[in-house]
Amino acid sequence: MSSPSPSLEELLLDFERQSLARCELMKELDSTPTTLSYLKYGQLLPEPLKPRKIALLTPFTLETIRPFLDVECYLSGWRCDPVFYQYSQWQPALFDLAGDESCDVDAVLLLLDDATLIEGLGETPAKAASALLGMLEAFRNSSQIPLFLGPAPSRPHDGSLPQTVAENGRSLAMVQAANSALVNFTDKAKDTYLINFPETVTELGAGWHDPKAFAANLSYLTHSGLRVLARDIARTVGPLFVPPRKVLVTDLDNTFWGGIVGEDGIEGVLLGPQGKGAPYKKYQQFLCQLRETGTLLAIASKNNLDDARAVFGERADDLSVGWDKFSAVRIDWNDKAENLIQISDELGLGLDAFVFVDDSPVECERVRQALPMVTVIQAGDGVDGLPERIAASRAFDILSVSDDDRERAGRYQTDRQRSEAKNTAGNVNDFLASLDLTLTVDVLDDENRERAHQLMNKTNQFHLTLERPTPVDLFQRAEGNNEIYCVKLRDKFGDYGIIAVLELEPQDKAIDIRNLVISCRALGRHVEDALVAFAGIRARQKGLSSVKTQFVAGPRNQQVPEALGRIGFSQSGEAEGQTQYVLSSGETTTSWPEYLKLD
């Protein structure tokens, strides 16, 4: 007799099943999106480990968004500690936050309303836009805090007061000029992003604004408006702190294409842009777009391999995603949960980075129960609306797409070549020597800082301290006494890109490796040995006598202390959940791997 399924309340408190808890809570709120529901579940959420402090600057009342923000940020995998600057506070707060070097705010969000733009910033559209740009440029020139800007929506006119055509025209011109200034500024300024405030709220029609409440206490948004705004804040700001899922694993029959190839034949499966094949074409195009953002694609299908492979060959012109675009494939009759585990091992990525898409409710439930860390999405009949459901899961929310992201999927293709070379090599050392490996160590700068932040927030397997610094943290520490390096790797097959971040903190007599993060793609290349040797070089250059570091244990980084021991570190103590290490010799010299060149 099977045990009863846990309730949503139980799932919310189950640390191991948080992915499933978020999925179930999202379903509940989709069916009952009321203020009472948000208040109820906001009280049931687990205690946040590290809430992120977000400064919310608005000329209107926004504090009532708090219960919606609590829940929506949880659904996006992070927790928010909002600080509200409202009414006339927003302008001085913008200057104060920029000028405060000790500011511990993780992000600033500025949302404007049309009344402020029309009445408070300037007499003409040009003056209003100029005044707004002046404030934003002053902030950006003085602060590295990520800044999110929300252009102002135009309130629906309630008809209670007469407005002339001229007044309407002036109001529209003021709002358009200021909003255009925000958009243009966002395009050019670093660490500055747009939140589409107008589109977010106007999806509710006129129901997002209550003119009586606005007149009474500057409550610009109704509860429905607050709910959709909270969702957008959670999804737009969240990627600063939560990396997107890295892998989408798709079924084939009745998911990637219509029909069952083993029954309908190669020509009988539904593909193409017209008729019943159109939803499958749309899904494939969505997969292409995901891949371009750096998401890896994989297949897990119960099928005959030859039949499925033949569709990719004989119907290639009808497909948007070719066989060569998949980084891993499991087409057999084995348990899909087991196949996902194998794909995870093959790609070197944890299952908590996976999204699984299948039309079968049985297969979906099997993966949910066996692998609760995987996000599971059932395709449904005809896959209508499947891309929208995957997007709504928030699994692939991303702040921006870097060149490294765009090249990631292609790099996994070259990994297959490396695997083949490893299989033909006599031993590991021969294999590594044959790769012609070269490291490039660059100082952290504006060009590589985004990738450094991304790597430190995504990596779990080789991560010394599991610290997740913001871009502001990295900038401030690099501006201070710490040295932060971005490390690239290449071999004869191609360029891995930036695969490691090394942070060194010189102290009285030692250099401390404060952070060392290495991408799973570079593990097994002894990059860690080379970077410890590099730390020793920097110690000697500074006249320091030893190298030390510290380790914080997590569920997936147990290979780190093994590597430290192999390199020559020994434990020197315990403090505040950290294990302290020092090079056993008490010196700074370790061997540089002979098959790794330093560029």
List domains and CATH numbers for the chain. 32-240 (3.40.50.1110), 247-392 (3.40.50.1000), 435-598 (3.40.630.30)
Q: What is the pLDDT of residue 165?
A: 46
pLDDT digits (tens, 9 = 90+) for 487-527: 999 888 888 889 999 999 998 889 999 999 998 888 888 89
pLDDT of residue 225: 92
pLDDT at 1: 42
- Which token pair is 178? 């200021």
Residue 48 scores a pLDDT above 90:
no
- 84 versus 6: the higher-pLDDT residue is 84
Task: Note the pLDDT of residue 586.
Answer: 67
If you average pLDDT over every residue of the chain, what do you get? 88
Contacts of 6 (CB under 8 A, 6+ apart): 14, 17
Q: What is the reported pLDDT for 166?
A: 47
CB 515 within 8 A of CB 502: yes
Tell me: pLDDT of 75 over 60.
yes
- Distances from the Cα of 173 to the Cαs of 134, 162, 284, 570, in angstroms? 19, 19, 42, 68
Tokens representing residue 349 in the block: 């990525």
SS3 at position 586:
coil
| Sequence-distant (≥ 6) Cβ neighbours of residue 535 within 8 angstroms | 502, 504, 511, 513, 547, 588
AA identity, residue 166: A
20, β-bridge pairs: none
Integer Rg of the chain from CA: 27
The torsion region of residue 192 among left (phi > 0), alpha (psi -120 to 50) and beta comes to beta
**Which pLDDT band holds residue 164 (cuts at 50, 70, 90)?**
very low
Q: How confident is the model over 399-426, as pLDDT tens digits?
A: 888 777 777 777 776 666 666 666 665 5
Q: In which residue are the tokens 């430290």 written?
A: 564
- By the 10 Å C-beta count (0-12 exposed, 13-18 middle, 19+ buried), 391 is classed as middle
Choose between 235 and 586: higher pLDDT: 235
Q: What are phi and psi of 385, to 5 degrees?
A: 75, 10
User: Is the pLDDT score of 390 beyond 50?
Assistant: yes
